[in-house]
Amino acid sequence: MDNKRRQLLTKPGDTLLLARSAFENSMRIAQWQEATGQSPSSFTFNANCSVPVPIYTEVPAGGRRFSEVNPEAMWHPLFWLPARVGNAYNLPTGPNKELVQESDAVRSIRVALEMSASGLYHPESGWVDILETVGIDVDNPADVDRISEWQAGGVDDLLDSIDLGPYLYVDDDPLWAIKSALALEAPVTEAGWAMTADYLMEAIWDAAEEDTFDEVRREIAIVASLAGQFLGEVPTEGQSSIEFWAEIEQEARIGNYASLQDFANGPMDAANEWLASTRDAFWGTIDELHTGLAA
């Protein structure tokens, strides 16, 4: 597809699955809100995917879906998904096979697969500017006004005609993405744990280079907080992951240590060992995923 492309949240080299770092990923929620104007209740976000996914709801009579979105952001393909991709799937996964809405993780993976397979997202060049494909330029104030009027309910046959259907890869099975997402949920989660653990180990090493003991403690407390958020579901024997990282964070903030060396030999070493063990346990999943997704 020879279309204009733009970057939003991602950088050249980023895939939609397996975000590079826990910290960058946590920052993307605020960046998405600022860029699009959406509130957190209007999108789902999974730590293992690089971007939020807007929630598709019923459109009231006379209204427009995503009328709250900044008109300058309406170039993004995620705001123009057909029902097959945008709507949440109900799956027979309840205790008695009753229908249950797909998890945020499955939805994020499914949409990421659709966007990547279709070419609407490319790791090097970013997202296709959908509005540019119909001659609308979000860098032109007159076109931004046009989008805003349409979002408010105005008639615009050109904007109404936008259809991502021809772009989207369907294969012989329109359910290929949901089937793949369900199969990938566990390995993508495990690979995300490995990458996050590796990133946080680097953060610990960087913290050790801080100038003062107080600065080291502050940085380790941040690492522990991120680990509790992104690695809290890692299975462990005995003490849970959430409990472990809550304890590390508490020790970093208020623990009684006579010197930096005492602190390093205690909470810092314990945190590093936990992260190394988690990284090593799940790192092989990353190579398997890259091989499988490239096939």
Confidence check: pLDDT of 294 > 60: no
Whole-prediction pTM: 0.85
Confidence check: pLDDT of 24 > 80: no
- Contact predicate 1/128, CB 8 Å: yes
Q: Give the C-alpha separation, 41 to 54, whole Å.
A: 9
The two counts, helices (H) then strands (E), for the chain are: 10, 7
* 49 φ/ψ angles, rounded to the nearest 5 degrees: -115, 150
Confidence check: pLDDT of 23 > 90: no
> CB neighbours of 238 closer than 8 A, spacing ≥ 6?
none
Q: Per-residue confidence at 92, pLDDT binned at 50, 70, 90?
A: confident
